[in-house]
Amino acid sequence: MSLKVYVPQDSSAISVGANAVAEAIAAGNTDIEIVRNGTRGLFWLEPMVEVETDQGRVAYGPVSPSDVESLINQGILDGDQSHSLSLGLTEEIPFLKNQQRLTFKRLGIADPLSIEDYVAQDGFKGLARALTMTGQECVDEVKTSGLRGRGGAAFPTGIKWQTVLGAEGEQKYIVCNADEGDSGTFADRLQMEGDPYALIEGMTIAGIAVGANKGYIYLREEYPHAHAMLNQAIELAVETNYLGDNVLGSEHSFDLEVRLGAKSYICGEETALLESLEGKRGVVRAKPPLPALEGLFGKPTVVNNVLSLSTIPVIFADGAEHYAGFGMGRSLGTMPFQLAGNLKQTGLVELAFGVTLDALLNEYGGGSASDRPLRAVQVGGPLGTYLPESQWQTMMDYEELASFGAVLGHGGIVAFDDTVDMAEQARFSMEFCAEESCGKCTPCRVGAVRGVEVIDKVRSNTDHQENIVLLSSLCNTMESGSLCAMGGMTPFPVKSAMQHFGEDFGISSSKSNEQAS
């Protein structure tokens, strides 16, 4: 058996040169097997090359094509660890070792498209178990796990499934929301590129649970590599009967299709997503009716995020109690946090709920990449609040964050150093909302445009006091008058920026608290 060398095929790894590194290694070494695995999620080390040794996999990174010659000459193929890029055993790198990976237990270990490797790592074990259970038993298992929607809304997944199970109708659908638009988030992409069968398995189990035989993955157009991976994985799963008619010889059939979005952030909102899947403008629907009862093409529909669905296999394989044994309070299980922005060590950190933001930023993230002090951290995507240092001891838990108006969202964490201008960030939040609003409701459609104008006046010191008051009032109107989270939450980053970083808006810190409240 030839020596295995791993070079990730993840699109982030490729964006920093992984393909060229793989080619450089292959060029001089014909007797080795290069495995294009998924990323391990340690992105500041990408391209990260791993060499299989008797002790385990040894990592080197970040490797550029010009490093390859010296690495080979140093003897990395014989397990030499003296090169300056040597990181030691992969599994011993603290960033990885200290994680609690359940959803992402397989990430980066093998070729993501190898069904054999997937099965060898407990893949399709959950599906096999689900096939022995009734729909109600499956739904109960999800309820017991405590899983809540990982897309951002944190609605209990089991309750959603129960509604669809109980809905009347011959045709039901499972829709996967893979429109991961939040800046600072990339976990869905890692899942789809790095472990696509987990998503396929999770959706199939959802189909068995609620009685749906058709699933759609609504994938954002910005993820071309994930698109290719999913299509290949679906094809291979159909060939091996993990998908298609009579899954694994059972009475359950399940077809899966990937549909591409078209660069619209609002289509990550579940009802806009359904409109888009139906071939219409991605305009938000009023609720009720709930999508669970009248969803895609008017039929009962489960709409779940990639991470929620990809967590289903581990819940079924290891049992709901095992999963619920992680976490705290009403936030059970683990959360894939995504460290982005100005941090030294960026990447995926899956941990039980309850870790502090400070630990994520400093222990895992290693502090700022620029070596300047960190100043503001946006948690939960472009609609999430900016947290000042005084709030970094907060435990990452849905209720803890909600207690002061913050959100965990999809788990994105974007850190800014002290060069950030928070008034500029607030302006961007409004600008983004204006760009991406679906236009259905006035507070969002018009409010965002006015928000940009008002912030421009504040920044240029035009009628400063009046415009500060106007901005606060506008935020309140958008928050309480918008149809969905787009307009309803755009004020979160704006208000938190004003409240905690008032000096950037030309307001004294003692006043900024009352202005923003």
Instruction: List the beta bridge partners of residue 303.
Output: 175
| Interface with other proteins, residue 371, by CB under 8 A | no
Interface residue with other proteins, options 5, 9, 21, 43 (CB under 8 A): 43
In whole angstroms, give the CA distance from residue 474 to residue 496. 14
Q: Which is nearer to other proteins, 181 or 300 (CB)?
A: 181
- Binding span for other proteins by CB under 8 A among 26-34, 230-238, 311-319, 428-436: 428-436
Q: Is 344 in the site for other proteins (CB under 8 A)?
A: no
* Phi, psi (rounded to 5 degrees) for 276: -65, -40
Of 43, 33, 80, residue with least CA distance to 58 = 80
Residues ≥6 apart with Cβ < 8 Å to 300: 163, 164, 167, 168, 169, 172, 173, 210, 292, 293, 294
Q: Is 141 in the site for other proteins (CB under 8 A)?
A: no
Rounded Cα–Cα distance for residues 386 and 30 (Å): 51
For other proteins, the closer of residues 325 and 366 by Cβ is 366
Which of residues 126, 202, 341, 443 is near other proteins by CB under 8 A?
Answer: 341
By CB under 8 A, is residue 221 in contact with other proteins?
yes
Does residue number 338 form part of the binding site for other proteins (CB under 8 A)?
yes
**Sole binder of other proteins in the list 307, 339, 434, 507 (CB under 8 A):** 339
Identify the DSSP state of 182: S
Nearest approach, Cβ of 314 to other proteins (angstroms)? 23
Residue closer to other proteins by CB (options 131, 306) is 306
Long-range contacts made by residues 160-163, C-beta under 8 angstroms, separation at least 24? 160/292, 160/302, 160/303, 160/304, 161/206, 161/209, 161/210, 161/302, 163/290, 163/292, 163/293, 163/300
Note whether 279 binds other proteins by CB under 8 A: yes
Q: Which is nearer to other proteins, 74 or 385 (CB)?
A: 385
CA within 13 Å, CB half, 125: 14
Strands (E), 134-287: 173-178, 214-219, 255-260
Distances (CA, A) of 115 to 64, 110, 119: 30, 10, 6
Nearest distance in Å: CB 204, other proteins: 20
When asked if residue 44 is in the footprint of other proteins (CB under 8 A), the reply is yes
Give the span between the Cα atoms of 263 and 4, in whole angstroms: 39
Q: Which two tokens mark 283?
A: 């305009």
Identify the residue among 152, 158, 181, 411 touching other proteins (CB under 8 A).
181
- Determine if 15 is a binding residue for other proteins (CB under 8 A): yes
Q: Which of these segments, 30-38, 84-92, 176-184, 328-336, binds other proteins (CB under 8 A)?
A: 176-184
**Binding of other proteins by 182 (CB under 8 A):** yes
297 binds other proteins per the rule CB under 8 A: yes
- List the strands of the sheet with 386-388, edge to edge: 347-352, 334-341, 412-417, 374-379, 386-388
Q: How many residues sit close enough to other proteins to count as binding (CB under 8 A)?
A: 61
CB of 281 to other proteins, least distance (A): 4
Does 337 participate in binding other proteins (rule CB under 8 A)?
no
The closest alpha carbon to 500, from 420, 433, 444, belongs to 420
Contact 407, 365 (CB under 8 A): no
Q: In angstroms, rounded to a whole number, what is the distance separating the alpha carbons of residues 270 and 285?
A: 9
Binding to other proteins, residues 239-268 (CB under 8 A): 259-265
Q: Is 416 an interacting residue with respect to other proteins (CB under 8 A)? A: yes
Interface contacts to other proteins, rule CB under 8 A: 11-12, 14-16, 43-44, 46, 180-186, 188-189, 221-225, 259-265, 276-283, 297, 338-342, 346-348, 369, 378, 382, 412, 414-417, 420, 425, 428, 432, 435-436, 438
